Amino acid sequence: MPQIQFPIFSAFQKYKDNTALIASHQKLSFHELDRWSEALSNQIHHETQSTEQCIGILAPSSLEYAAALCAVFKKGMIAVPLQPLHPIAELKYIIENSNLNLLLVHQDCLDQAKELTRDTKIQLLIIERAEPTHTALTYLRPDEGQAALMLYTSGTTSRPKGVIITFGNLEFQMRTLCKEWGWQSTDRAINTLPLHHLHGVLNLLLCSLASGACCELYPKFDAQQIWERFSSGEITVFMSVPTIYSKLAQHWDQQPPAVQKKWSEQAARLRLMVSGSAALPLPLFEKWKTITTHSLLERYGMTEIGMAISNPYQGDRRPKSVGKPLPGVEVRLVADEIQIKGPNVFREYWKRPDVTESSFTLDGWFMTGDQARVDSDGYYYILGRTSQDIIKSGGYKISALEIESVLLERDDLLEVAILGIPDQEWGEKVAAVCVWKDQKAKIHHESTQYLEVKEWLKTRIAHYKVPTRWNSQNELPKNAMGKVIKPNLRHFF
């Protein structure tokens, strides 16, 4: 299999003196990141030797996270980023499923890591700033089909699936997106997105590094802080999800006219603003254009395919459209379903050959489960999903089946159906229709039962998966096969 020159390693050599990262008021040059990741890579070497092995990374958005990710890449192993904000039960599932024997840990997450790895043989390695013991720095030339990154997605099954993304996938995506979106070494980007999702780790972190640009990492979103960074005149690129743009617009609305004017003028100077991970409502597209003059660049992608379709950087960005296929990516519609083929498509689902096989057509096209239409100019418009069990809320893809399976662990619940309810700000909100053993139980926003169930769920699944809309019924509508007819539940909300 052909070997490739990995863009991150090329950037280490080409942009040594450029600032690569800024986080927590600390700066890191490309040369410093190169040496730190080299030292960490040497430590990984002493812990493990096998290839195609998963190495976990438990860290917030930070310099440590980036150094750990680059170190795993240098060893040619599989990086498995973990979100520290997720509940222990969800993190334990990923750790067990990925067969980790080494976990790279940010100092602030050490207690959490110890709890996660108790009664296991998993080794912990704290991510500390260090210098390599040798002067020569190493740069792997991986095979294009070699696994590099595994991100977990809820997909359509009840438990998250590990998506194996190869070095070839990443190389193609970085090269394509850097060219198509005009990345330059003079760019400075803001990254408030979680780094265990493709949007934050590929579109922002890896693309900025590959182009020699600077990426500012923020573990938490703060609207005031982001507007202040826009106003500094230093930022050129911003990418986020519709929910964040909505919150930024709301914060702008609350300011006095003089501040609004200043913020709008400075934001207009950014060269690129991108929205993705969920559908961008037309009113928000128009609102943001009024505030900043930017027509948000909307694109289409998912963990399994990276970015596949995009509006142009230069040219007509059409509202409600995700644009045209990126160069090198093949797209077709079969019964309105989007199917994708190309070097961007993932290799396999981790330890799930049956699901991998069923996700592709016989002639090799990946079936996304999303429906679309295409206009006479070749612009694609997403219509929805072929699966009723996928919910997109705030940029996250959520499995309704996973939430249902967790809720059904409760002794007081007979049946439950989870569905997405359209919402202007979040895209969709997670809603639950419950059949309780006690038919008198009525769960709603203000009830004591709701608060108890909500807190119970937060210990088992990520906060954004917890339903915010609740309804109680005596029975759920079902078809002849006993399957719940979820479209018939929407009128309850």
3-state SS string for the chain: CCECCCHHHHHHHHCCCCEEEEECCEEEEHHHHHHHHHHHHHHHHHHCCCCCCEEEEECCCCHHHHHHHHHHHHHCCEEEEECCCCCHHHHHHHHHHCCCCEEEECHHHHHHHHHHHCCCCCEEEECCCCCCCCCCCCCCCCECCCEEEEEEECCCCCCCEEEEEEHHHHHHHHHHHHHHCCCCCCCEEEECCCCCCHHHHHHHHHHHHHCCCEEEECCCCCHHHHHHHHHCCCCCEEEECHHHHHHHHHHHHCCCHHHHHHHHHHHCCCCEEEECCCCCCHHHHHHHHHHHCCCCEEEEEECCCEEEEECCCCCCCCCCCCEEECCCCEEEEECCEEEEECCCCCCEECCCHHHHHHCECCCCCEEEEEEEEECCCCCEEEEEECCCCEEEECCEEEEHHHHHHHHCCCCCEEEEEEEEEEECCCEEEEEEEEEECCCCCCCCCCCHHHHHHHHHHHCCCCHHHCCCEEEECCCCCECCCCCECHHHHHHHC
pLDDT of residue 308: 98
For residue range 469-485, what is the model confidence (pLDDT) as tens digits? 999 898 888 875 567 88
How many angstroms separate the CA atoms of 332 and 240, rounded? 27
- Same domain? For 366 and 396 the reply is no
Tell me, yes or no, whether 365 and 395 share the same domain.
no
Same domain, 403 and 346: no
Domain count, the chain: 2
- CB distance 30 to 117 below 8 Å: no
- Residue 421 sits in which domain range? 390-492
| pLDDT value at residue 282 | 86
Are 433 and 359 members of one domain?
Answer: no
> Is 381 a domain residue?
no
User: C-alpha 202: how far from its chain's center?
Assistant: 9
* For residues 417-439, average pLDDT: 90
CA distance 395 to 336: 23
Residue 305 and residue 425 in one domain:
no
- Regarding whether 120 and 261 lie in a shared domain, the answer is yes
User: Would you say residue 340 has pLDDT above 70?
Assistant: yes
Query: What pLDDT score does 440 carry?
Result: 73
Residue 91 domain-assigned?
A: yes
For residue 178, what pLDDT band results from cuts at 50, 70 and 90?
very high
Going by pLDDT thresholds of 50, 70 and 90, the confidence category of residue 277 is: confident
Q: How confident is the model at residue 415 (pLDDT cuts 50, 70, 90)?
A: confident
Q: Which of 338, 371, 404 is the last residue of a domain?
A: 371
Q: Predicted confidence band at 193 (pLDDT cuts at 50, 70, 90)?
A: very high
Instruction: State mean pLDDT over 215-227.
Output: 96
Answer yes or no: is 380 within a domain: no
Query: Rounded to whole angstroms, how far apart are CA atoms 463 and 291?
Result: 31
Same domain for 424 and 352, yes or no, is no
Same domain, 394 and 367: no
Spatial distance between the Cα atoms of 316 and 324, rounded to a whole number of angstroms: 11
pLDDT of amino acid 272? 98
CATH number of the CATH domain containing 398: 3.30.300.30
Reply yes or no on whether the pLDDT at 156 is more than 60: no
**Greatest mean pLDDT among 282-286, 376-380, 416-420:** 376-380
Percent of the chain past pLDDT 70, that is, above it, reads 96
Tell me, yes or no, whether 358 and 442 share the same domain. Answer: no
| Residue 50: predicted pLDDT | 62
Whether 101 maps to a domain, the answer reads: yes
* 273 lies in the same domain as 394: no
CATH number reported for the structural domain that contains residue 54 in this entry? 3.40.50.12780
pLDDT at residue 155, rounded to an integer: 47
Choose between 446 and 310: higher pLDDT: 310
Listed residues 312, 337, 371: the one ending a domain? 371
Residue 286 lies in a domain: yes
- The answer on pLDDT for 132 being more than 90 is no
Determine the pLDDT at residue 280: 86
Q: Are 391 and 419 in contact (CB under 8 A)?
A: yes
Same domain, 85 and 214: yes
pLDDT tens track for 48-60: 556 679 999 999 9
Q: Mean pLDDT over residues 351-379, rounded?
A: 95
- Examine residue 384 and state whether it is found in any structural domain, yes or no: no
Q: What percent of the chain has pLDDT over 90?
A: 74
pLDDT above 50 (res 338): yes
The more confidently predicted of residues 435 and 237 is 237
pLDDT, tens digit (0-9, with 9 covering 90-100), for 73-117: 999 999 999 999 998 999 999 999 999 989 999 999 999 999 999
Q: Which of 313, 339, 371 is the last residue of a domain?
A: 371
The answer to whether position 1 is within a domain reads no
Q: What average pLDDT does the segment 41-52 reach? A: 73
- Regarding whether 345 and 238 lie in a shared domain, the answer is yes
Domain assignment of residue 36, yes or no: yes
